[in-house]
Chain A
Amino acid sequence: MRTLALFAALLLVGACSTPPKPPELEAFEKLRSDPAAAAASKRAPDLVLSADRLLAVSRDQWQSNDLDDSRYSALVGQIKLKHALALAEQDIAKKRMAVADEQLTAATDEQLRLQRDLNALNNEVALIKQLNDAAAEREKLAEQLNAAQQKASADKQTMAEQLAAERQKATVGEKISEVELAIKTADTVKAGTHAARPYSAALDMLARAQQEFAQGNFRAAETSADMARAKAEEATVMAKPIYAQEAQGAENKALAEALSRDAAAIPNVVVRRDIRGSLQRLVLPIPCSELFIKRDTIIAPGRDAILEGIAALLKKYASFPVQIVGYTDTRGRASELLAISLARSQSVYSALVLRGADAKRMLVSGQGGAEAISDNRTVAGRARNNRIEIIFLYQ
């Protein structure tokens, strides 16, 4: 019984207590306590005031256990408060937008200015790069030009050296040819015989010059060639007079032999050769009986035929000096004999000059009875001693 009474009392207390708060009211209160609600009350005070009134009504209705109305009031109050919050949010957003716009404009301006600066700087950098590139290119070209000039200079020098070498080679070759010519010239005067030492030296030098030339040692070859030429010329100079003398002698000998042969061909003339010192003589004795009558000194007419042959001989062998010497036998005074012999020589001289012989090369003399070639005691001997000798002189 007592338990039942206690249960009934608890039931009565429970029936009289406040019901649980509707969730709409709780949400409303939570929303109202949001810090943003303060800004909303400034932006839309009427709406917030109305919401506050509804909040109070909703609480009263909840306290009065009028839950449906409390829920309804809380919902409407929330709507009004949210409306106010939305308006406040719009203002904030507009303000943010304005600030952002302002800052964006400033930033855009700054960005444009910086971009201009950067563009200008980039242009400068590009320009400097171009200048540097151009400078580098110029330097490279200068180096290439320098290298090309050096190469050209080296080529030129090489060519000059080659040319000089070729010239030297040609010069040396020419000199060797000159040496060979000089040696041939020396050969013509028999320098090998008459100047054996310089000639041999010249040959040795020539051989050395040719060897050095073949080895490409042109300078040494030139020196050797010069020396060889000098030796060859020396040999030529040394041998030439000897050779000339020898040649002249040979020539004279040959000429004398020819003269002797030609003279022997003249009728009534017996040619004789004798030597006096270094001189040789070809003597053509003409009996006076062939030219003169008795003791006359003038050539008898019709007896000068023999002189034709003598004159022809004189003209043919014009280089020989000639003596015309008259001789007599020993009958008579010596002075008279000398005069006769001289006169007869003069007559022959004149006759020969008349026949074209060179007067200057002929020497006339009379020896009288001297140098008899036969016995004067006999008629035949005296006839032989009366004579005119045409003497050709040579070495």
Chain B
Amino acid sequence: MIRVGSVILLVVTLGGWSNAFAGEADDLQNMIDRARQGAKDLEALDEHKAVTDEITFLRVWLDEAWKQRSQQHYDEVRAVLDRCDAQADMVRQRIVASQLSAQAAEREKALKRTRAKIDETKKAIEAATIQKAALGAKGRK
């Protein structure tokens, strides 16, 4: 009776342990999938292609995580996923920085255009002043 009970307990324990492992694998898979989707979103955000290399690294690392998860090296998977999260944050910030830089460059370009326009206008004013003086002199004759 005790032997039967021990066997049952062993089976139940082994089953629970097995179920626990299966749940962690799924969680990691979901995390990897979300991270991949996030990488795709970041790629879409990267209009200026400023962080293509970093996103490539991210994808490679996610593949590595998937590989580790397939080999049931869950700790390694978590470590890689942590690094991917940090990488994704960094990529997001760099995208923001590139967008801001692009906007700044656009403003500076607009400023340059405006200054060029100012120079043109100043030249036009100078030419018009000369023309006015010439016309005035002609009119007084």
Chain A residues packing against B (C-beta within 8 Å)? 72, 75-76, 79-80, 82-83, 86-87, 89-90, 92-94, 96-97, 100-101, 103-104, 107-108, 110-111, 114-115, 117-118, 121-122, 124-125, 128-129, 131-132, 135
Separation of A132 and B133 alpha carbons in the complex (Å): 13
Q: Looking at the complex, which of B11-19, B36-44, B97-105 is the stretch in contact with chain A?
A: B97-105
Query: Which residue of chain A is the closest to B88 with respect to CB atoms?
Result: A79
Per-position 1/0 for B98-118, Cβ under 8 A of A: 001101100110110011011
Check B125 against A104 for contact (C-beta < 8 Å). no
Check A114 against B125 for contact (C-beta < 8 Å). yes
Check A100 against B107 for contact (C-beta < 8 Å). yes
Chain B residues packing against A (C-beta within 8 Å)? 54, 79, 83, 86-87, 89-90, 93-94, 96-97, 100-101, 103-104, 107-108, 110-111, 114-115, 117-118, 121-122, 124-125, 128-129, 131-132, 135-136, 138-139
Check B118 against A96 for contact (C-beta < 8 Å). no
Q: List 17 A-B contacts (CB under 8 A).
A: A72-B79, A76-B83, A76-B86, A82-B90, A86-B94, A93-B97, A93-B103, A94-B104, A97-B104, A100-B107, A100-B111, A110-B118, A114-B118, A128-B132, A128-B136, A128-B139, A132-B139
Does more than half of chain A's interface fall in helix, strand or loop, or is it mixed?
helix
Most buried by A among B93, B108, B136: B93
Separation of A118 and B128 alpha carbons in the complex (Å): 8
Separation of A125 and B128 alpha carbons in the complex (Å): 7
Task: List residues of chain B with CB within 8 A of the CB of A118.
Answer: 121, 124-125, 128
Check B93 against A79 for contact (C-beta < 8 Å). no
Check B122 against A90 for contact (C-beta < 8 Å). no
Task: List residues of chain A with CB within 8 A of the CB of B79.
Answer: 72
Does more than half of chain B's interface fall in helix, strand or loop, or is it mixed?
helix
5 extra interface residue pairs, beta carbon distance < 8 Å, beyond A79-B86, A111-B117, A114-B121: A100-B108, A104-B107, A104-B111, A107-B114, A128-B136
Check A75 against B83 for contact (C-beta < 8 Å). yes
How many Å from the CB of A315 to the closest CB on chain B? 105
Task: List residues of chain B with CB within 8 A of the CB of A75.
Answer: 83
Task: List residues of chain B with CB within 8 A of the CB of A86.
Answer: 90, 93-94, 96-97
Check A94 against B100 for contact (C-beta < 8 Å). yes
